[in-house]
Amino acid sequence: YLWFMMRENEEKLELFGIPADKLGEEFEKIGEQKFRAKQVMKWIYEHRQFDFAQMTDLPLELRDWLNNNAIISIPETAEVARSEDNSAKFLFKLSDGKFVESVYIPDLKNNRHTVCLSAQIGCKYDCSFCATGKMGFVRNLTSTEIIGQLYEIREYIQVGGNNLTNVVFMGMGEPMDNLDAVIDAIKVILADVGFGLGHRRVLVSTVGIPEGILKLMKTSLRTKLAISLNAPNNKLRTKIMPVNKKYSIESFIPLIDEYVQYCKRWVTMEYVMLAGINDSLKQAHQLVELLKGLPVKINLIPYNPIEEVDFKPSDDRTIMRFQSYLLANSVVATIRQSSGKDIKGACGQLIADFTLTKNSN
């Protein structure tokens, strides 16, 4: 019986996390008008109405058809870990029993409420300082599963009396490696009948995959871009980010100007500060040589220790000195305030111990 139910769901039309263009095509296939897609989206994301019978501006016939042939799949929230700093890490259970994590990061001073989404379960790239890489690559997420994370956390934010303002693809996995699903998810995030966010409130963070950056630029989404640089030269970068063997620094630097013309915002270069590895003034100087004159800002990220490796975080004075050197040499640099360290929800810590054990059985 359960098998029968599962079979039946597989054949149903998924409505959740699907962009209006695709959904419109599906409606056309059944002889309906395209614009019905937007009506349905409005019910789902704005009115939080999942009962087709209550979607009162749809013809009765269509409501009936949807009732028999469509589904709205939302992941189950398995666990919420709240941090002392009010950020929260969410563990979602997906339909195949696998788990994925996402993080809510409030910034009350600036009234920013950011959700950090995962694009994959695990990751292929195995950056030496990142916990997600240690679990290996499990699978891609669908746009339904990506939007599921956002939908659930938006409810949490609203219960707290606030509004979702920003989305970053900085959770588990590499967004460029699952770009079709990420693009579909972004379309839902930007749509008026979806989450209605402005395009510069969405940021995609990548290890620097040029094909992905080029493909993103072919869309009209114009979201912001961050590249995880983490080292000022190829030798060191290859040591801590194996992906650099395939995509060296020179493979993405030339795309920066083009991206800024496309999005009209500077590209962020992320740089995790590892004590004695990449935090010397000599390396700051190399960074200046590499990035001088480019429309980029460097975001220095204090390293969040993970259990699997023995890197040490640079101390505050070293980070500030590094930043001062960059600023004095006309390279814009900020220091990221890390959230959720106590719940292992900070950058590079998403694996969660419980996810690891649960995903591997």
To the nearest whole angstrom, how small is the minimum distance from the Cβ of residue 351 to ligand SAH? 10
Does 206 help bind ligand SAH (rule: CB under 6 A)? yes
User: Does residue 269 bind ligand SAH (CB under 6 A)?
Assistant: no
Contacts with ligand SAH in 299-338 (CB under 6 A)?
301, 303-304, 306
Task: Kindly tell me which of 72 and 185 has the beta carbon lying closer to ligand SAH.
Answer: 185
Kindly state whether residue 104 participates in binding ligand SAH, applying the rule CB under 6 A. Answer: no
Estimate the crossing angle of helix 316-328 against helix 281-291, to 10 degrees: 40
Cα 102 from Cα 303, distance rounded (Å): 19
List b or e across 150-166, with b for residues whose CB sees 16 or more CB atoms inside 10 angstroms: bbbbbebbeeeebebbb
- 123 has catalytic annotation: no
Q: Which of residues 109-128 bind ligand SAH (CB under 6 A)?
A: none
Candidates 83, 144, 205, 278: give the one binding ligand SAH (CB under 6 A).
205
- The mark string for 221-250 relative to ligand SAH (x by CB under 6 A, - otherwise) is -------x-x--------------------
- 130 interacts with ligand SAH by CB under 6 A: yes
Choose which of 15, 41, 347, 352 interacts with ligand SAH (CB under 6 A): 347
The answer to whether residue 256 forms part of the interface with ligand SAH (CB under 6 A) is: no
Q: Is the CB of 23 or the CB of 170 nearer to ligand SAH?
A: 170
Number of other CB atoms surrounding residue 331 within 10 Å: 22
Question: Rounded to an integer, what is the distance from CA 103 to the centroid of its chain?
Answer: 10
Q: Report the alpha-carbon distance of residue 111 to residue 228 in Å, rounded.
A: 26
- C-alpha 11/C-alpha 70 separation (Å) is 9
Nearer to ligand SAH, 24 or 313 (CB): 313
- One residue of 66, 272, 319, 352 binding ligand SAH per CB under 6 A: 272
Alpha helices (runs of H) in the chain, residue ranges in sequence order: 2-10, 20-29, 36-41, 60-69, 131-134, 143-159, 179-190, 210-217, 234-240, 249-252, 256-263, 281-291, 316-328, 353-359
| Minimum CB distance to ligand SAH smaller for 16 or for 259 | 259
Interface with ligand SAH in residues 32-91 (CB under 6 A): none
The percent helix, strand, coil of the chain (3-state, each to 5) is 45, 20, 35
Looking only at the bridges linking them, the beta strands covering 332-335 and 296-302 are parallel
Active site residue 211: no
As a whole number of angstroms, the distance between CA 358 and CA 74 comes to 19
| Chain residues 141-170 in contact with ligand SAH, contact rule CB under 6 A | 170
Number of residues that bind ligand SAH (CB under 6 A): 17
- Nearest-CB residue for ligand SAH: 348
Q: How far apart are CA 282 and CA 279, in angstroms?
A: 8
Give the residue among 285, 288, 277, 301 at the shortest CA–CA distance from 227. Answer: 301
Binding site for ligand SAH (CB under 6 A): 129-130, 170, 174, 205-207, 228, 230, 270, 272, 301, 303-304, 306, 347-348
**Residues labelled catalytic:** 101, 347
